[in-house]
Amino acid sequence: MRRILIHAGFHKTGTTHLQQTLRANRAALRPDIRLVLRPGMTALCESARAYSKSREDYDLGLVKYETAQLIEHLDAEEATTIILSSEDLSGHMPGRHGLHGYGAAPDLMRALSVAFNAASPDDTVEFFFTTRTAEPWLRSCYAQHLRASRMVWDEEDYLKRMRSSADHGAVFDLIRPEIAGHTLTIAALEDYSDDPLGLAGAVLDRLGFEAARRAGLTPSDTRNAAQSETLKAELLALNRSDLGTPELRRAKRALIQGAG
């Protein structure tokens, strides 16, 4: 019997550092822990994002299908613990495609649960989420939207419009009954600010990873750098311009590279 830990979000909660820290220590986690990040389950992540946008039964069915495909791929895995980590398992980040929250996450977690129960009934599946205080989370999401989409709202307008999306507790209240029988663990970014491994430490806490082995792990130096107010203003101006999409992407890429 294996233990499957599904880290399904949320976006902008220290997930990059968590994933890269685990990735940097893959060899030290072996042979008993296998890590699967987004590149190892791209089809599943894309189907979850598609469902969050469409809410169509067909797309939710694809989530179950791609989960079953992933389980089949991992069937010969000898590790006793498998970590699946991608915030895209909860769908698109709020603010994309008119989404005002993680409303699809309960359905998506149920789909993952159903697929694992059917295709791998002997595995123990548990869910793990990372969170962040509302205002810093909203501001971080806004900065990401400025970079990656044609966000035209100013920051304060975004905070007002999207305030409800920061109520992650309400999402968990909806997720719990959908994954009855499975453990749900929630770790806050702020609670692990002093841990050298950051939220990767929270994952290892949940897994009961031995202290002696943990002492030999090294944190990733990969972190999403905060944007300056000047850069955010320039990105907003570009988003509000009449540039076509290809030209806008090139202009933003040049601006961000210049700021770096």
Looking at residue 225, what is its pLDDT?
Answer: 67
Residue count of the chain: 260
Chain-centre distance of CA 60, in angstroms? Answer: 18
- Asked if residue 254 belongs to a domain, the reply is no
Looking at residue 94, what is its pLDDT?
Answer: 96
- Asked if residue 83 belongs to a domain, the reply is yes
Looking at residue 56, what is its pLDDT?
Answer: 98
Which H or E run contains 188?
strand 183-188
pLDDT digits (tens, 9 = 90+) for 128-181: 999 999 999 999 999 999 999 999 999 999 999 999 999 999 999 999 999 999
The two beta strands, 33-37 and 183-188, are unpaired
260 residues of the chain, pLDDT tens digit each: 899 999 999 999 999 999 999 999 999 999 999 999 999 999 999 999 999 999 999 999 999 999 999 999 999 999 999 999 999 999 999 999 999 999 999 999 999 999 999 999 999 999 999 999 999 999 999 999 999 999 999 999 999 999 999 999 999 999 999 999 999 999 999 999 999 999 999 999 999 999 899 989 998 887 666 789 999 999 999 999 999 999 999 999 999 888 76
Domain count, the chain: 1
- Asked if residue 152 belongs to a domain, the reply is no
- Asked if residue 145 belongs to a domain, the reply is no
Contacts of 99 (CB under 8 A, 6+ apart): 52, 53, 91, 92, 93
Looking at residue 257, what is its pLDDT?
Answer: 87
Q: Which of 85, 89, 91, 87 is nearest to 55 (CA)?
A: 91
- Asked if residue 44 belongs to a domain, the reply is yes
Looking at residue 42, what is its pLDDT?
Answer: 98
Looking at residue 64, what is its pLDDT?
Answer: 98
Looking at residue 223, what is its pLDDT?
Answer: 66
CA distance 12 to 189: 10
- Asked if residue 31 belongs to a domain, the reply is yes
- Asked if residue 200 belongs to a domain, the reply is yes
Q: In CATH, what number is assigned to the domain containing residue 198?
A: 3.40.50
Looking at residue 260, what is its pLDDT?
Answer: 62
Q: Which domain holds residue 82?
A: 3-137+164-224
CA distance 193 to 189: 7
- Asked if residue 251 belongs to a domain, the reply is no
